[in-house]
Amino acid sequence: MSVTLAFQYAALIVSAIFALLRLPLALKGRNPMLFWALALTAIGVGLSIPAIYLPVDALLGGVNYANLILRYAVYGVVLLIGSISAAAFRSAQARRLIVGRSGLVVLAVAVIVTSVLFFISDLPVSSPGLYGYPDEYTIHVYAVVGRIYPAYVAACLIAPAFRAAAHARRPVLLRLGSGLIGIALTEVVIWSILGATRLPIGVWDYILPHSAVIVLVAGLGAVAFYGIASKQREKQSLLTSGYIR
């Protein structure tokens, strides 16, 4: 197995496991957005793997609709995780920039332009990552546009993430999770910038986004675990105080 494929499968396994772990809590109404973010992450990562992409795309007609679904999944993941993270970091400004009017306009433009570029391109044969169409200009623009929205949301959250990680009065687990999320967001921005330059970055085009997924899921897991633990402590405190009274 190559290094790139190893990172892809690792990202798929990590995101799928965490999504399954969150499913029972989501069914109880406890932060279902986190479950859907992880589920969409697993779908997006899965469709980046040729062994999964090709049969799925064949079912859809073999003209790369699977890649368009991957793009939509990424946009959904970024929106959900951006909203969750902004709330966790207590950053009202980041939340406004992501789920406020300006953020939703950026998302809408990204979705519309992505869709238009896909449908005006000639993509007659399934190609994972559309790497089989290196000379088609619309596909290059399509790839660049696909990185703009993730980079935008990541850029809105990097400072709040590291600020939360450096906050000495916050619990260690929350600081650890915030730091991991900040690292993952930095990877996303770097990957987006490198992709826009058309530089031959080789395996890093796979390693950066998929390692970002692994680190991001670990960070979200740490933050979620802190939330669960704090609620458990709160319940125990309420039970104790009720018993004393």
pLDDT at 238: 41
Give Rg (Cα) of the chain. 19
Task: Kindly tell me if the per-residue pLDDT of 240 is higher than 60.
Answer: no
What gap in Å lies between CA 43 and CA 73, rounded to an integer?
7
Task: Kindly tell me if the per-residue pLDDT of 14 is higher than 80.
Answer: yes
What gap in Å lies between CA 223 and CA 36, rounded to an integer?
16
What gap in Å lies between CA 150 and CA 78, rounded to an integer?
6
Note the pLDDT tens digit of each residue in 106-145: 999 999 999 999 999 999 999 999 989 988 899 999 999 9
pLDDT at 230: 63
Question: Which residue range forms the structural domain that includes residue 150?
Answer: 3-244
Task: Kindly tell me if the per-residue pLDDT of 237 is higher than 50.
Answer: no
- 43 with 17: CB under 8 angstroms? no
CA distance between the termini of the chain: 62
pLDDT at 24: 92
Helix/strand/coil for 236: helix
Note the pLDDT tens digit of each residue in 59-117: 999 999 999 999 999 999 999 999 989 988 889 999 999 999 999 999 999 999 999 99
By the 10 Å C-beta count (0-12 exposed, 13-18 middle, 19+ buried), 202 is classed as exposed
pLDDT at 180: 94
- 191 with 198: CB under 8 angstroms? no
pLDDT at 169: 82
What gap in Å lies between CA 118 and CA 127, rounded to an integer?
13
Range ranked top by mean pLDDT from 30-34, 113-117, 233-237: 113-117
pLDDT at 241: 44
Q: Residue 152: name the closest of 211, 203, 196 by CA.
A: 196
How many beta carbons lie within 10 A of that of residue 200, not counting itself?
8
pLDDT at 182: 95
pLDDT at 174: 86
CATH code of 24's domain: 1.20.1070
- 51 with 186: CB under 8 angstroms? no
- HSE-up of residue 6 (Cα within 13 Å, Cβ side): 5
pLDDT at 228: 66
Note the pLDDT tens digit of each residue in 182-233: 999 999 999 998 887 767 777 888 889 999 999 999 998 888 887 666 665 5
pLDDT at 178: 92
- Angle value at C-alpha 134, between 128 and 135, nearest 5 degrees: 145
Count how many domains the chain has. 1
Residue 140 CA to its chain's centroid (Å): 21
Task: Kindly tell me if the per-residue pLDDT of 239 is higher than 60.
Answer: no
- 171 with 188: CB under 8 angstroms? no
pLDDT at 70: 96
pLDDT-wise least confident of 10-14, 111-115, 181-185, 238-242: 238-242
